[in-house]
Amino acid sequence: MEIGIELVRNRIACALEAFRQVLYGAGAHEIVLYTVRLRANMENLFILVTLGDLIGVPILPPYYSLRLLPYLVPQVSSWKRRVLRERDILDADGLDLLA
Amino acid sequence: MNTLIALVIGVVVIYLAYMFYAKRVDATIIKADPKKATPAKMYMDGVDFSPTDRNVLYGYQFKSIAAAGPIVGAITAGNLWGWLPSLLWLLVGVSFIGWVQDYSAMMMAVRKDGDSLTAISHKLISPRTRTIFLLFIFVYLLMIVGAFGNMLAGTLNTQPSVPLGIVVLAVAGMFAGQMLYKWKMDLIVTTIIVVGVTLLAILIGPLVVDAVKGFNGALNQLGLMIYYVETTGAVLPFTTSYMFWLLFVVVFSYLGATLPIWRYAQPVNYIGFWVMALTIVGGLLGAVLALFVKPAAATFTLAAYKVYDAGVGGALQPMWPMLFVTIACGAISGWHALVSSVGTGRQLEYETDALPVGAGAMFSEMLLALLALLAISVAGKLTGTAPAMFASGIGGFLSVFGLDPTYGAALGFAAFVIIVITVTQLALRFMRVVLAEWLGDTWAPAKNIHIGTIISAILMIIIVLSGTFTYLWQLFGGANQLMASLALMLVTLWLVETKKNPTYAFWPMVFMYVTTLAANLITAYNLYVTVLLRNIGKPELMFAVIGAGVMIVIAVFLDVAALYIGWDAWKAYGRLKAGKVATAPAE
């Protein structure tokens, strides 16, 4: 009997958690995605200005950029992929808002 | 017939289609593998490629695809042909075509490294397919802003309880952006404040009716009129107050198109989501309970089947193909394939999540379209526009909970207008982006956000003032469904390339392709016969004639472009069948 009640409680808890996640996905997820992209754009620009030479932009890293290098190395490969990835009109911001 | 029976039928059909058809395709043809790395896991940059829980993605996908489309399509079709054909198309369309497109486009993007549909079309079919897709998107957006602008201006002009809610929505949207992004306030607190204020304004709307009527009356003293031609051939006027509200919609959309997304478009959309969610949940629950609490609000009064009466206009509205482009979202919509491939496809954590997310969200969207159809079916005996009947039906469902039908209808109206206007402002924004993409290299001013938006707004106004909402909506449906058939064409070619059985996508593609080609030709014919031919040379009908001419050109262009893509796809099929490497020839 107690195991049965526990099972029902767990199932209700799982269902509520799933509902909460669906509500988050429908309401707030696009805001989070947008904020993350906003931050990533600024990061892209910063790394471009400091280490643009890595993707062929003729910005020779000055002394201060090289001092930042150890902190930026973990992000360089994903930064390169983000900046150089092929984009088209469907990558424009807000497409997911337009239903 | 009543709402409960219709809902039960809808839920049963969804269950059967998902459990016995969709799951079978997923397991035996696509063979989704939870152990295979998706692009979200492979690239995981935490920005565009980020593995996300399936429940979150389901909500995100549903929000991305479900808005004004399923509502407007269902109520327009119900008004034209009755509830029975509309219901049948919703059920059959989503079961055999809608989920197929959404799910397959998502899986195709996942298996092709998160490429967008246009990028895949470039590689799989031909480079010019990508260009044609862009043109389709522009036409789709132009028809949306035209059809919705027409509907919005008409509703704001004739429903004096609605404008207050929309004005407050605009102000609340600005505040929401400021609160979230600048003042860094908590999301829940911000939501309660801005959504609460907007709902309050909606409920106060019926109390300021006299003031708005007085305002409209004062405007109409100016006596400016623009004439348009109805689908029956009747010549009717747009009044000064109509044109004022049209300008209001344009300004509202201009702000959404030019301000940073976080400042206006996104928070307005966010508030609109909550208003829509409350209306959907309240409406669905009310539709279920109505039979037991208030049977009059649950019984269908709309005719099950109507033959469209064109009057002296001579318009053709045969059920095939026109029903299938009038109800777009809710049964099948090309736009979903674009969103599925770019947005959701890059966030899938496991391949096996594609079915509950892609197909699940599409089936859920059908329920929204069904709700709209139920609302108009119970209000069927009323005269008035389709939005008025929808609002009355929703008011009836909400009255089950004790809400006065006047306030329930005001909420239904306002929810409808809010949903439509949030889509309109985003569509204008994307028109500006597409124009910049297209023309920006050859004509630099197109890249200026204000010039691009003004050009788009002028095109929108011309299309709206042509007056023929039904044709606008059907041309929008034609563009949208043609994109759907092209998405299914891509899926078919991808299945052939990967040596899988393409039948489940091929026949829906053929049906949509032939249907939309025919529908566009019929729309062009209707515009020619009812508007252009009868009224050319009449100066007072200049806008109607110019608008009709533009739409005829667009309808023919859509079909010619589709034939080009069809020809390129046929050649691509030959290449893939011969086992040649699937690279498209250079342009």
The angle formed by the CA atoms of residues A53, A54 and A57, to the nearest 5 degrees, is 40
Q: What are the backbone dihedrals phi and psi of residue B238, each rounded to the nearest 5 degrees, phi first?
A: -95, 125
Q: Check whether A97 has a pLDDT greater than 70.
A: no
Interface check B555 vs A, CB under 8 A: no
Residue B445, Cβ neighbours under 10 Å: how many?
12
Among residues B231, B205, B437, the alpha carbon closest in space to that of B322 is found at B231
The answer to whether A42 faces chain B, any CB pair under 8 Å, is no
pLDDT for B355-383, tens place per residue?
999 999 999 999 999 999 999 898 876 55
Contact status, residue A86 vs residue B112, Cβ threshold 8 Å: no
Peptide bond connecting B85 to the previous residue in cis, omega within 30 degrees of 0: no
CB spacing of A22 vs B341 below 8 angstroms: no
Bridge partners of B238?
B226
Q: Which residues of B342-351 are buried (b: 16+ CB within 10 A; e: fewer)?
A: bbbbbbbbbb
Cβ(B385)–Cβ(B155) below 8 Å: yes
Q: Is B236 helix (H, G, I), strand (E, B) or coil?
A: strand
pLDDT in tens, chain B (587 residues): 888 999 999 999 999 999 999 999 999 999 999 999 999 999 888 888 999 999 999 999 998 888 788 888 898 888 888 999 999 999 999 999 999 999 999 999 999 999 888 889 988 888 888 888 888 888 888 998 999 999 899 889 988 988 999 999 999 999 999 999 999 999 999 999 999 999 999 888 888 999 999 999 999 888 888 888 777 777 888 889 999 999 999 999 999 999 998 899 999 989 988 988 888 889 999 999 988 888 888 889 888 888 766 555 678 888 889 999 999 888 899 889 988 888 899 999 999 999 999 999 999 999 999 999 999 898 876 556 778 888 888 888 988 888 888 888 888 888 888 888 988 988 899 888 888 888 888 888 988 999 999 999 999 998 898 877 888 888 999 989 999 999 999 999 999 999 999 999 999 999 999 999 999 999 999 999 888 888 888 888 888 888 899 999 999 999 999 999 999 999 999 988 887 655 555 44
* Model pTM score: 0.90
CA B363 and chain centroid, separation: 15
Q: Do A88 and B130 touch (CB under 8 A)?
A: yes
Q: Does residue A45 sit at the B interface (CB-CB below 8 Å)?
A: no
List chain B residues with CB under 8 Å of A90: 116-118, 338, 341-342
Nearest to B481 by CA among B446, B508, B453: B508
Question: ipTM of the assembly?
Answer: 0.84
pLDDT in the model for residue B587: 44
Paired sense of beta strands B226-229 and B235-238, if any = antiparallel
Distance CA B361, CA B368 (A): 11
Q: Is B102 exposed, middle or buried (0-12, 13-18, 19+ CB in 10 A)?
A: buried
Instruction: Tell me phi and psi for residue B237, to 5 degrees.
Output: -100, 150
DSSP assignments along B463-510, one per residue: HHHT--HHHHHHHHHHHHHHHHHHHHHHHHHHHHHTT---HHHHHHHH
Nearest to B142 by CA among B273, B271, B63, B253: B253
**Could you say which of A26, A29, A94 has the minimum Cβ distance to residue B426?**
A94
Task: Tell me how far apart the alpha carbons of residues B244 and B221 are, in angstroms, rounded to a whole number.
Answer: 13
Cα nearest neighbour of B53 on chain A:
A21
B85 closest CA partner among B334, B300, B327: B327
Q: In B178-239, which ranges are continuous DSSP H helix? A: 187-204, 209-220
8 Å CB contact between B429 and B257: yes
User: Is B337 part of the contact surface with chain A (CB cutoff 8 Å)?
Assistant: no
Q: Which residues of A touch B429 (CB under 8 A)?
A: 94, 98
Task: Give the integer Cα–Cα distance in Å for B420 and B438.
Answer: 27
Q: Are B346 and B48 in contact (CB under 8 A)?
A: yes
For tokens 């404008």, name the residue.
B163
Question: Can you say whether residue B467 is alpha, beta or left, with left for phi > 0 and alpha for psi between -120 and 50 degrees?
Answer: left
Q: Give chain B positions within 8 Å (CB) of A25.
A: 52, 55-63
pLDDT tens for each residue of B387-442: 888 888 888 898 888 888 888 888 888 888 888 898 898 889 988 888 888 888 88
Q: Where are the beta strands (DSSP E) in B349-393?
A: none
State how far the Cα of B157 lies from the Cα of B153, in Å rounded to an integer.
6
C-beta separation of B49 from B39 below 8 A:
yes
Dist CA B232 CA B315 (whole Å): 7
